[in-house]
Structure 1
Amino acid sequence: ASSPFLHFEVEDTGRGIAPEEMNNLFQPFVQTTSGIQTKEGTGLGLTISRQFVRLLGGDIYLTSTPRQGSIFSFDIQVNLAAALKVSPRLNKGRVIELAAGQPSYRILVVDDRKENRDLIVQLLSSIGFEIKAANNGQEAIAMWQTWQPHLIWMDMRMPVMNGYDATKEIRARERNTNTNHRTVIIALTASAFEEQQASILAAGCNDLVRKPFREQIIFEKIAEYLQVLYICTEESSEDATDNNLKNIQFSILDLRSAITIMPAQWVTELNQAAVEVDAERIFQLIEQIPPTHSTLAEKLTNLVRSFCFDEIIDVTEENCN
């Protein structure tokens, strides 16, 4: 079947173009009488436009009536895209564990920054995934070879070997191996450029997530590619996120004063745990807050749940000095 065409028209109500000038209009450096009179342009615009349209498999046309205006139209060939697959969204609240009766899923986290690795490792291991971590692309390839993870979270910019080269090597080895197993690789990138997305997918990644990310996005991507089922809290994810953000905004304003009710040693330990991105240790320290100060415990918990470790460092550093 022949490819479909898209048709475009641009119409103006200007001076129009005389019939005797229309044949040469698409020649380089040629201008109409009206164009010469206005002393604007170079006579290259239509020539370049036609070249672009022809590169796209179409052509450009002109109809014009003097003193009434002109209509420029062009057609370009297009390919029909496949219907987008709708990604599953978590309509419930925060994920608390994996649903029973599922396979044991192996997930590899690859990032040269320890705090970034620890963040995802703690998030995923806390609900029941099998997790391993690698510092660079070389380590990731070695772990993939021996451990065969179901999914890899791959940072794209790393020393020794970056995520692009590691992904290409894993895909090459998969092609040379007699197995149906194909690891899902999802890129983690701080880049906001669309061109970067094409390069990431061309390297062999299935998808990408931009930093900074919400924990909900991480869980949704895993569910999309591995069909994982979760057990969640009752509260809707949107309500939970809104409430957390409100609490965080309020927390930063008054947390410095509220935290002074705790011993200096406790504040120092909290600061160190935040520096190490140790969510488990922070929760242990939160349990030591007296019941009479439950608001402080709630605010700190919301900061941890929203990965706001920098904010915890900020509010504790002043009381550590």
Structure 2
Amino acid sequence: MTSQFVLTVSCPDRLGIVYAVSGFLTRRDANIEDSQQFSEHGSGRFFMRVAFSVDTGHEDGGSARARDELAVGFAEIAREFDMDWQLHDRAVKPRVLIMASKQGHCLNDLLYRFRIGALHGEAAAVASNHPDWADLAASSGVPFHHLPVGAAGKASQEQQVLDLIEAEGIDVVVLARYMQILSPEFCAKLPGRIINIHHSFLPSFKGAKPYHQAHARGVKLIGATCHYVTSDLDEGPIIDQEVARVDHAMSPEDFVSAGRDLESTCLARGLAAHLDQRILLNGHSTVVFR
């Protein structure tokens, strides 16, 4: 049996990193199938993503054992080069919680992509502060959780979301037009694990009704931005963006209509990059290997 893994590395840039990584894999009879790297001169940091396969035998659990053995062996190299690193077993699909509110175009698109296997992950649950999308989730065989922001307040509802994340073993939360501002406390519990789609070309037109803001300014391009969520509203590291041309004859509603496709495409592409371990954080920005 051949098992596939992805190694991601971020560290101070210096001579010998590629040699050390490739040599480590060669000594373990690993076949490197894809390797990408980037040196960021401003920060002096080096980023690398390596996809490789190894023969793990025919016994059950061989992939997990190989992953553990590789991780133990690589730890010595990681210490030498002061690396932030992760080793992912491709046989383990990340579990995703999708959250939405009243608009369901991004939710519908993601559920379809999961159903046809276009995203390397599992749609483990859908949660919403409204009951509208229960039937849509059921049609895809995904459990739906109605978690309204009630009289008990947002803190109580966010705790319900956190309980759901723990109970379902969620790896990443996707805000598919979930129109609630998350508290700093909630964001702090899931760093680098919450992905949002914002319906504007950030950093322009943050906050509410960005298409209406864009229309009022007479823009000729509108956009959508997929980004990681931090405690600073619409300020998290950007993963992906998409744009479309607009003109003076279009109304704010026309902007909104055109934006739906942008949002769905941009969010799906950003989530795919995350699930494939193609994103490495670089301070307030990202390195995204394609």
Taking structure 1 as the reference length, the TM-score comes to: 0.25
Higher Cα radius of gyration: 1
| Structure with the largest fraction of strand | 2
Taking structure 2 as the reference length, the TM-score comes to: 0.27
| Structure with the largest fraction of helix | 1
